[in-house]
Amino acid sequence: MYIFVINSGSSSIKYQLFRWPVEQPVCSGLLERIGLADATITHKVFTAEQEQVSQRSLPIPDHAAGLREVVRLLTDPEQGVLRDPQEVHVVGHRVVHGGEAFAATTLITPAVKAEIKRLFSLAPLHNPANYLGIEVAESLFPQARQVAVFDTAFHQTLPPKAFRYALPTSLYSEFGIRAYGFHGTSHQYVAAQAATYLGNPTAKIITIHLGNGCSMAAVLGGKSVDTSMGFGPLSGLVMGTRSGDLDPSVIFHLIQERGYEPVQVQTLLNKNSGMLGLTGFSDMRDITKALLAGDPAAELAYDLYAYRIQKYIGAYAAVLNGLDAVVFTAGVGENDARIRALVCRNLEFLGLHLGETRNEECTKELREINQAEARVKILVVPTNEELAIARQCAELLTA
């Protein structure tokens, strides 16, 4: 069966098409800058282990127009991989926030859509785009079963001592204010890959997802027991544009003493802070260039970024009562050897001994970067959220 996976962001759509049970996608793509006249779509078709890439710039006013363009590419007479959109059996959607209602992959029904919509206030930057992706896909693939895979679902195994805040109980019972965690699909995928590699299904693993958004998870026996993101995706690590952990007093000070409006503070912490606030750049590749040019702001940003990760490694090693592996994943985690070296520095007491030569190697496969004799494995595991979503869709519908 064909499974079409959609990862719909506020101004982008990532997608992959699988001819299940083959886990190598038939095609994949990325549509960026939706809503602008110079939107771009990069479409890749995989045949006989070869990759055919096409890229276009065109006006894409909204997600509906974007997905229509994707369908056109899927069925293109020359480069297409489908004769008709009706061949798609399942559409899998990444949905960021499932609250406490969804602890597993779920077939989308009107009631499920209503709950996703109800959760808009908990993920205002993500759930509306995810919901829109569902509505558009329902119109373009009316015969297909629509399935939701929730970023928060993997973290529903957190114990109350990890997910509750020390606030009045009514705020939790009436309004659902608690830590939910995010990037769950990625953490679950790479933790499972690592456990299989270790040959230990009960392994104690710390997963470190470092992209533009960043988070960590403590995983015990394949289950999340703690994670760095909380009520929303703002807390925890320093990120591309998000502040990460912050004393709430700063927010009160900005509003009461500096005249900020709440929406200004929200924009400041979500879009103008993190590495962007520290250096003027949100992309680590630009920050690396600045660092190599001797920019002290870039040096501080790198140190601060790595230091925050180290603190969570220490905390999660305590939570897990030991450690079998640390896993780096996502764009920065997989590709930035400097960050990995800074993170692992001075953690020998935990059993982390980085292999410098191994760390500098750059491949697209799961690999060890620890010294050969090290007790704790340091792994780089490429994440693949789209494949993880496809797997979960197939498991749900063939159970």
Q: Could you tell me if residue 43 is left (phi over 0), alpha (psi between -120 and 50 degrees) or otherwise beta?
A: beta
Q: Confirm whether residue 94 is marked as ligand binding.
A: yes
How many residues are recorded in the chain? 399
Q: Is 335 annotated as a binding residue?
A: yes
- Is 261 annotated to bind a ligand? Reply is no
* Annotated binding-site residue? 69: no
Distance CA 76, CA 356 (A): 47
Omega before residue 21 within 30° of 0, cis: yes
Catalogue the active-site residues: 151
CA angle 319, 323, 325 (to 5 degrees): 125
Q: Is 176 annotated as a binding residue?
A: no
And the tokens for 91?
């559409």
92 is annotated as contributing to ligand binding? no
DSSP classification of residue 349: G
Q: Is 164 annotated as a binding residue?
A: no
The response to whether 270 counts as a known ligand-binding position is no
Question: Cα angle vertex 253, ends 267, 270, to 5°?
Answer: 15
Q: Is 385 annotated as a binding residue?
A: yes
Q: Is 355 annotated as a binding residue?
A: no
- Beta bridge partners, 381, equal none
Q: What are phi and psi of 125, to 5 degrees?
A: -85, -15
First to last CA, the chain: 15
155 labelled binding-site residue: no
Dist. CA 35–CA 12, nearest whole Å: 9
Q: Is 285 annotated as a binding residue?
A: yes
Annotated binding site for ATP: 14, 209-213, 283-285, 331-335
Annotated binding site: 7, 14, 94, 209-213, 283-285, 331-335, 385
Annotated binding site for Mg(2+): 7, 385
Annotated binding site for substrate: 94
